[in-house]
Amino acid sequence: MTDLLSGTPAARDQDPVPTRKERPARGRGVRALGGRSRTLLLLAPAVLMLLVFFAYPLADIVWRAFTDPEPGFGNFSELLADPTTGRVVGRTLLTSLVVAAATLLLAYPYAYLMTVTGPRARAVLMALVLLPFWTSLMARNFAWIVLLQDGGPLGWLGSLFGRGGQGLLGTAPGVAIGMVQVLLPYMVLPLYSVMSGIDRRLMSAASGLGAGRFTCFRRVYLPLSMPGVISGTTLVFVLALGFYVTPKLLGSPKESMVAQVIGTKVEKLLDFGGAGAFSVILLALTGLLLLLVSRVSRVGSTLGLSGKEG
């Protein structure tokens, strides 16, 4: 039938036929949905592994801290009432700070040397950094026991810390030395990653404008390398807070750190609630540190110390 007025075929009640512009858009939407599903499917094993091996144990530790042996804050009250808790936490923070500072002083010139040498020398230096990862941690700690014991090759170091001719085995300085050797690669790699991206022509430009070497370093190179300094120091400090094997082997019960106290509560006392409470305190300290570092990094970025030009 035709329309009586226009003579054209009458319109039928049917869905509009998609135009050529609409068809590709719908196709892109379907492809995007399929790509998102594939991404989620690929991430599922990693997420499941994190939930099983990280989230669940962490939740169990927190749960035991508040429920074992009875619900409440009894475990935290006992820890806060014990005078040794403050000394252990203070010793852990001080040792971690000393280790972070020592690794920074050793790693900064080493990472800088890696950026100015040739490819072959850089490969050798990188191999020396990665070599500890290929060596057993227990073997390295036992080597330090031989070096730091009384009469050992490094026994003279005790005289630097007021111990006469005695070695440093079983002391806080001995633990710090062993931890510095273990954690040094974790400082070198972030520093080298940032320093390798610094444009050397900036130093030449500053020198051409009349700045001396120290001024060039202080006003140009050091601010540009601060992201590596902050990330490396934070990483080493956080790892040192929870270090267990090296303080256990090189230290002594009188110089215990937080991880050693937690291990003693679990292994000898079977005090899972107290160990969980101490773990929660250590976790809170770590989270507070990361929050503080994020604030400092944000302030440094605002002041132009992030190494990025706007």
- What structural domains and CATH numbers belong to the chain? 82-302 (1.10.3720.10)
What sections of 51-171 are H helices per DSSP?
56-67, 74-81, 83-116, 119-130, 137-148, 157-160
Q: What is the pLDDT of residue 110?
A: 95
| pLDDT tens track, the chain, 310 positions | 444 444 555 444 455 555 555 555 555 555 655 667 888 888 888 899 999 988 998 898 889 889 888 888 888 888 888 888 889 989 999 999 999 999 999 999 999 999 989 899 999 999 999 888 888 888 888 988 888 888 777 767 777 776 666 778 888 888 999 999 999 999 999 999 999 998 888 888 888 888 888 888 888 888 899 999 999 999 999 999 988 889 989 988 888 898 888 888 888 778 888 888 888 988 888 888 888 878 776 655 544 444 444 3
How is residue 9 annotated by DSSP?
B
Cα-based torsion angle of the residue sequence 197, 198, 200, 201 in order, rounded to the nearest 10 degrees: 110
Rg of the chain taking only CA atoms, in angstroms: 30
In this prediction the pTM is 0.78
Return the structure tokens found at 24: 């590709």
Return the structure tokens found at 299: 């302030």
DSSP string, 162-198: T-TT---TTSHHHHHHHHHHHHHHHHHHHHHHHHTTS
Rounded Cα distance, 185 and 239, in Å: 12
Of 176, 186, 184, 177, the C-alpha closest to 257 is 176
Q: What is the pLDDT of residue 300?
A: 54
pLDDT tens digit sequence for 78-128: 888 888 888 998 999 999 999 999 999 999 999 999 998 989 999 999 999
